[in-house]
Amino acid sequence: MSLLCLPAAVIMSSVLQKLISPLASSPAEPPRNKVTVVGVGQVGMACAISILLRDLCDELALVDVMEDRLKGEMMDLQHGSLFLKTSKIVADKDYAVTANSRLVVVTAGVRQQEGESRLNLVQRNVNVFKAIVPQIVKYSPNCTIIVVSNPVDVLTYVTWKLSGLPKHRVIGSGTNLDSARFRYMMAERLGIHASSFNGWVLGEHGDTSVPVWSGANVAGVNLQKLNPDIGTDGDKEQWKATHKAVVDSAYEVIKLKGYTNWAIGLSVADLTESIVKNMSRVHPVSTMVKDMYGIGEEVFLSLPCVLNSSGVSSVVNMTLTDGEVGQLKKSADTLWGIQKDLKDI
């Protein structure tokens, strides 16, 4: 997108022609790893900058309804293109700019207000999605969609329904961030790097997420074996408080700075990397869990999923306690309670 509004003929005639002799006369190749970010709010832009600085795409497209903001954000990123390895950064209100995307990250929608629970956002965001999702699919029928907007599990279901895409191509960012926060906080208590603490938070992203204490380990040493009370109310060391801090952390950051963006942006870039580079890494993300763990409805909850260029190629069968399965079922019921009342999907 040249910002110079001179006729191309004037530019072409002199320096360019003298300087450069074209070899390949065929039209430009389409992008191979195009990523689109829908919504250029704080979350969308944090996803964009994280994806760009990790060199994950050869083209980045931004879409939003706020045209001035959109153009400003695009220009600001383009001005940094010297420092990046993504040669094409484009933006438009019209979804034609998103054509041929491998991955579409949906961050559009209204954000949680201070004290507002994620579930309260629902109907507001469903209406936004009815405008967005069909447009995405129209221009990138083979893409994988990552839904970030909250309440993410419900909106991933909504996206799946509105898109008509197979379920392995619609992913919710889910508890990828909750797990990252959990691993960071647990690791801090132990004095190690977050990546050396292995722990999974599954289920619903938010207030009723499930920390799988039975799997928590460092170097394969199971923490529950060292401390059988871990995660219970009776635990003297109150490890359960760490999970509570994870649940509260989004609200806390919102209270302090008005929104969260950096952590979610980094977590989305992490998912993007697994998909674009066909890595088959396991991530806790929101996927369609009907017929697993006795769940009978079409709901999306986070489970350990293998992510690669197919999207969610498989799901790891986590061994959960009866209590943990019960929590998942309860979340599924709550989510279905909301989903069944949603209009026009």
Partner 1 sequence: MLCRPDRLISETSRFSLRGLRRLQPSLKMSTKEKLIGHVMKEEPVGSRNKVTVVGVGMVGMASAISVLLKDLCDELALVDVMEDKLKGEVMDLQHGSLFLKTHKIVADKDYSVTANSKVVVVTAGARQQEGESRLNLVQRNVNIFKFIIPNIVKYSPNCILMVVSNPVDILTYVAWKLSGFPRHRVIGSGTNLDSARFRHLMGEKLHLHPSSCHGWIIGEHGDSSVPVWSGVNVAGVSLQGLNPQMGSEGDSENWKAVHKMVVDGAYEVIKLKGYTSWAIGMSVADLVESIIKNLHKVHPVSTLVQGMHGVKDEVFLSIPCVLGNSGLTDVIHMTLKPDEEKQLVKSAETLWGVQKELTL
Segment 86 to 105, residues that bind partner 1, using CB under 8 A: 87
Q: How far is the CB of 209 from partner 1 (least distance, A)?
A: 14
Which range, of 129-137, 138-146, 246-254, 280-288, touches partner 1 by CB under 8 A? 246-254
Question: Does position 9 bind partner 1 by CB under 8 A?
Answer: no
- Active-site residue, from 79, 168, 193, 205: 205
- Residue 205 appears among annotated catalytic residues: yes
Burial status of residue 168 (CB atoms within 10 A of its CB: 0-12, 13-18, 19 or more): middle
What CA–CA distance (Å, rounded) separates 246 from 252?
Answer: 10
- In the complex with partner 1, the residue whose CB is nearer, 84 or 338, is 84
Q: How far is the CB of 263 from partner 1 (least distance, A)?
A: 4
Which range, of 82-90, 106-114, 130-138, 301-309, touches partner 1 by CB under 8 A? 82-90
What are 75's two structure tokens? 């220009």
Annotated binding site for NAD(+): 39-44, 64, 125, 148-150
Q: Dmax of the chain from CA atoms?
A: 79
Residue 189 in 3-state DSSP? helix
Whole-angstrom CA distances from 98 to 8, 128, 138, 205 are: 25, 18, 10, 28
The residue from 139, 157, 239, 300 that contacts partner 1 (CB under 8 A) is 239
Question: Does position 184 bind partner 1 by CB under 8 A?
Answer: yes
**Positive or negative, the Cα torsion across 134, 108, 268, 206?**
negative
Segment 121 to 150, residues that bind partner 1, using CB under 8 A: none
Q: What is the DSSP pairing of strand 209-211 with strand 311-315? A: unpaired
Segment 257 to 316, residues that bind partner 1, using CB under 8 A: 257-258, 260-263, 265-267, 269-270
Residue 286 CA from chain centroid, whole number = 10
What CA–CA distance (Å, rounded) separates 210 from 208?
Answer: 6
* Count of positions on this chain that bind partner 1 (CB under 8 A): 75
- The radius of gyration of the chain's CA atoms, rounded to the nearest angstrom, is 22
Question: Does position 244 bind partner 1 by CB under 8 A?
Answer: no
Question: Does position 24 bind partner 1 by CB under 8 A?
Answer: no
Catalytic residues: 205
